[in-house]
Chains A and B, each alone.
Chain A
């Protein structure tokens, strides 16, 4: 009856959540935004997503194969990076650029730093930043309904607030921009999924968005705080990229500091920076200070000095 028993150190039970499930739920939460992207921008958007996801997964697989490392493709993190990268690109981006962006995200940003869990900045955002500097024109050509035109944030930057699309278009997603950022509604559904499955907590997205709202009033931005929030990639960044486990602080206090920092930087860039949009750079810059935040926000050790705040 008895065969060999497993002898190991306690604990002997585990929460059912594992890395693959976490990433799976992130993909599920990203799905509504992807569907909205395809609905508003057409099949070209779906093609960009397919190219990015496939090339990220393939580059990860090849890299690990070449280095004779065990394959981690099954943990789905490469697929998440690919999808996030696609969401940060215009639907008209040439495929070869999307492939190069995926190469940069997977190999340079993720695997040269040690692979999953070791990268310093968010791979999808770093790849987008690289692409924006390398190919500024294709990366900022926005089309909606077959007509190219500026994004709402670009209109604000140009001072042409009278040409802004109505608020409900921003909420539903009928507006030019990156594939994944277009529909606030779809992103909020994704946020609901992540919260419900306890993949992320509300703190980072809510604090990030609230900071932007408050500062947009303080900096006397020409639109209402709600319009400010729904414009550009703020919701996409706040819900899906500023909450990336690997590149954000581990403590609740640290996460709040991180989110405030993102909000401040994003609004500063939007108001006085050279780009109309500052979400990507705000998160990338804050990614760099995560080790410092983690060090400064260590939790209170039981019994030492005072009680928890």
Chain B
């Protein structure tokens, strides 16, 4: 049987075996934890605590009342040590709340299960989801309560749980589906109460047959009618929002549209589980699963870790580096961000820590474009990267827009296949940023 998929794409080596069978390990840090204030797409938070304040697990550290935002909660109990600039994942310095952990993990009393949660008006879920600080844990960190509040004219027909995890190396979603399948299904059931006419789909790339089986059993066990588990063909970037919708529903939509415009809402596995926990168990979103892996890491692991923990501690928990890494990434190798230092905190968007040696990072010189067309074949968006990159280099931004450059989803497929190692994705990213900057400038006039 041919599994559904999308047009274009690539098949990078998966390297998932490093951590595929590693059970999620709980880690409780000591010492100080760092909570950067910008941790979601949309409005960044501002600190609402001051030096010396006592905080508990679930105490609000940062908040912003803007619609597109989510609060930041403490993952430990202790004392606010400082509110100061600290280095974050991309190497920039951001406003951070630093909490000295007392090691007691005392939970704030306001965090209780929503009473009679299965029967109350589901609209009340939205407030809880926001208060719990839930964002898209797949890495995009879009505030989930906002995603679940589409304009009333958008009819939602599909609620898709994204368990594709198409990035090589990563296993956090895979392990979550294997170890907590019921919580994921229950989370989806709760969200479906918000959209009674929608159909629930749990989409999983078919390189995780056990996860497919586990989820199917969980759906059956929990009697969740209206939820199906859909295996998808193994191809990168199958988990990208647009490619997932194309594969599942056959629909395409323009770059300016959102999934809700074609009747879809997509939630990551962890996000769905976190929704269940926040509502049914009264647990705020203060931990996440991180896959620490790569050929430079001594013992790769999947770790459940309180947000704010230093990445260095996770690396040490994995036995440190067995080889000198040349690149350390936050996220997967295709779309992850390369880090300057591992002395940065785990944030909501940290799906993996990947340390690559020189061998696997394959740093090669850039040579001339051969016009081979491999990038055109790989681009899931139907762009011609070999045309776009020189346009950005020549600062011909208008032509860049005309050639569809703004459609680029930065999945990295073109650069991956390029035999000349041209920075095609980087070119498009650069072009998009420049166009956006010019648009903002024009709007400000």
CB B405 to nearest CB in A, in angstroms, measures: 10
CB B322 to nearest CB in A, in angstroms, measures: 11
Closest to B251 in A: A303
Q: Are B419 and A6 in contact (CB under 8 A)?
A: no
A241 to B404 Cα, complex, angstroms: 31
Looking at the complex, which one of A11, A15, A300 makes contact with B425 (CB distance below 8 Å)? A11
Residue B21 is within 8 A (CB to CB) of chain A in the complex: no
Chain A interface size, as a band, is 35 or more
Those of A11-35 within 8 Å (CB) of chain B: 11-19, 21-22
Q: Are A250 and B376 in contact (CB under 8 A)?
A: yes
A21 to B367 Cα, complex, angstroms: 13
| A307 neighbours in B (Cβ, 8 Å) | 250, 252
CB B429 to nearest CB in A, in angstroms, measures: 6
CB A296 to nearest CB in B, in angstroms, measures: 13
Residue A249 is within 8 A (CB to CB) of chain B in the complex: yes
| A15 neighbours in B (Cβ, 8 Å) | 10, 12, 416-419
Q: Are B412 and A11 in contact (CB under 8 A)?
A: yes
Closest to A22 in B: B419
| A252 neighbours in B (Cβ, 8 Å) | 377
Those of B248-282 within 8 Å (CB) of chain A: 250, 252-255, 257
A294 to B12 Cα, complex, angstroms: 27
- Contacts A12-B356, A19-B420, A245-B371 given; does A5 touch B338 at CB 8 Å: yes
Q: Are A308 and B370 in contact (CB under 8 A)?
A: no
Closest to A307 in B: B252
Pull 11 A–B residue pairs with CB atoms less than 8 Å apart, ordered by A. A5-B328, A10-B412, A11-B334, A11-B415, A12-B338, A117-B420, A248-B371, A302-B246, A302-B255, A303-B253, A308-B382
Q: Are B368 and A117 in contact (CB under 8 A)?
A: yes
**Nearest 8 Cβ contacts at the A-B interface:** A11-B412, A250-B373, A245-B372, A117-B368, A9-B426, A299-B382, A303-B254, A303-B252
A22 to B364 Cα, complex, angstroms: 15
Residue B361 is within 8 A (CB to CB) of chain A in the complex: yes
CB B391 to nearest CB in A, in angstroms, measures: 14
What residues of chain A have their CB less than 8 Å away from a CB belonging to chain B?
Answer: 1-3, 5-19, 21-22, 72, 75, 115-118, 245-252, 255, 294, 298-304, 307-308
Q: Are A302 and B382 in contact (CB under 8 A)?
A: yes
Q: Are B361 and A12 in contact (CB under 8 A)?
A: yes
- Extra A-B contacts (7), CB below 8 Å, given A22-B419, A302-B382: A5-B340, A15-B418, A15-B419, A18-B367, A245-B371, A245-B372, A298-B403
| B324 neighbours in A (Cβ, 8 Å) | 1, 3
Q: Are A299 and B384 in contact (CB under 8 A)?
A: yes
Q: Are A250 and B384 in contact (CB under 8 A)?
A: yes
| B314 neighbours in A (Cβ, 8 Å) | none
Contact flags B1-13 to A (C-beta < 8 A → 1, else 0): 0000001001011
Looking at the complex, which one of B91, B328, B362, B407 makes contact with A302 (CB distance below 8 Å)? B407
CB A17 to nearest CB in B, in angstroms, measures: 5
| A117 neighbours in B (Cβ, 8 Å) | 368-371, 420
CB A218 to nearest CB in B, in angstroms, measures: 30
A302 to B384 Cα, complex, angstroms: 12
CB B244 to nearest CB in A, in angstroms, measures: 12
A116 to B422 Cα, complex, angstroms: 14
